[in-house]
Amino acid sequence: MARKHQAKITVAAAGVCLSVLLAGAVALGQERPAAEAPPAMPAPFSRDCRVPNNAVIAESPLPNVAAALQKRKVIRILAIGAAAMTGRRGAYIEHIERILEQAVKGLDVIVVNRGISGELAADAARRIKIEVALTEPDLVLWQVGTNDALTYVPIDELRDTIVETIRWLKDHKVDVVLVGLQFVHRRAQDDNYRTVRELIRSIGQQENVVVVRRSEAMRLITQAAGSGGGLFPEEFARTEAGYACLAEYVARAIALGAFGRGLRDQPGPSRVPGQPAPAPQQ
């Protein structure tokens, strides 16, 4: 019960932060281009999730989400991909829905969860096209790479699959947010894991799509919390925090992507203790 209460507070806090961010952005979007005069905004992440913004989110515009927001105040998000769609406090996509809806009054966020656990990117890619046809989303939230890393799918094959799917989605006026791999101590030592993680990052840059770097976020949260190693029970706590924060990062990525450079150029969130200041945006 206490956890639920804590979760609600976390979501509410994130919602308040993002509401300032988004309210300003919507107002700007109605009156003039968002990029012209960014609104004043507080640190958008709740305390537990404060990491350098550019360390966890590779930002890119989400023009279709922005258009949907302005036209009908409804965003349809299709959540698809692999594992880790859930946590003790419910699915992280539900957090995203709540954070975004709390952020903008009257905004209706419809999340369609079609995540199939254990699914490889190639299978997910085929299904994305079908689900896009059935659900007609503005945004696809694609958690990708974990199962391909675990099953050692050839990197070139994985790259082709992801790139081809991103381009297909763009052609069909659907934005994409890629959610990268989960952070794991031992796996971090694995070459294949690192290669897949880097691949997703490079695809994000090459294709100009938003990437939420989950593994980096978890690493920073872990360092900030100063918790020790071992699988239990710290790992569960970290994973819990990771899910909650992941929702905030994705929500922020959506907000930034939808409202452009103006918001992105705002001062980032608070620094993580012991971490260097975030590098300037490119």
Partner 1 sequence: MAREPNAVDFWRGYALIAIFINHIPGIYYTKFTHAYFSVSDSADLFVFLAGWSVRLLAGTGPRRQSTGYLVLRVGGRALTLYAAQIMITMIAIALLAGAAILRDNPLLLEWHNASAVFHDPVHAHIGLVLLTHHLGYFDILPLYVALMLMATVIVVIDRTIPSWLLPLSFALYLTVLVTQFNLPSWPVEGQWFFNPLAWQLIFVLGFVLAKPEGIGDFVRRNIVVIRWISLPIVVFFLLVVWFDWWHDPTKAPQPRLFFILSKTYLTPIRLIQFLALVALFSVAFPYIKRAVPPVVSFCSLLGRNSLYVFCMGSLLSLTGQIIRSIYRGDLVVDTILVVAGIAIMAFTAWLPEWRESIRQKSRSQQPASA
Per DSSP bridges, beta strands 108-113 and 74-81 are parallel
Q: How far is the CB of 222 from partner 1 (least distance, A)?
A: 12
Q: Among 16, 23, 67, 113, which residue sits at the site for partner 1 (rule: CB under 8 A)?
A: 113
d(CA 89, CA 11): 11
Please report, in angstroms and rounded to a whole number, the separation of the first and last CA atoms in the chain: 44
Q: Among 16, 20, 73, 86, which residue sits at the site for partner 1 (rule: CB under 8 A)?
A: 86
Residue 196 near residue 148, CB atoms below 8 Å: yes
Nearer of residues 28 and 250 to partner 1, judged by Cβ: 250
Residue 133 sits in the site that holds partner 1 (CB under 8 A): yes
Residue 87 sits in the site that holds partner 1 (CB under 8 A): yes
- Region of 21-29, 98-106, 236-244, 245-253 interacting with partner 1 (CB under 8 A): 236-244
Site string for partner 1, 141-160 (x = CB under 8 A): -----xx--xxxx-------
Total length of the chain: 282
d(CA 238, CA 182): 11
Which sign, positive or negative, has the C-alpha torsion 25, 262, 94, 174?
positive
Whole-angstrom CA distances from 28 to 18, 46, 68, 139 are: 15, 24, 15, 22
d(CA 131, CA 69): 21
Q: Among 25, 49, 51, 120, which residue sits at the site for partner 1 (rule: CB under 8 A)?
A: 120
Q: Among 33, 130, 202, 281, which residue sits at the site for partner 1 (rule: CB under 8 A)?
A: 130
- Region of 8-16, 20-28, 36-44, 128-136 interacting with partner 1 (CB under 8 A): 128-136
d(CA 97, CA 110): 7
Q: Collapsing DSSP states into helix, strand and coil, what is residue 77?
A: strand
Residue 139 sits in the site that holds partner 1 (CB under 8 A): no
- Region of 17-25, 56-64, 107-115, 252-260 interacting with partner 1 (CB under 8 A): 107-115
Q: Which residues lie near partner 1 (CB under 8 A)?
A: 83-91, 93-94, 111, 113-120, 123, 129-130, 132-134, 146-147, 150-153, 172, 182, 184-187, 192, 230-231, 235-236, 239-240, 243
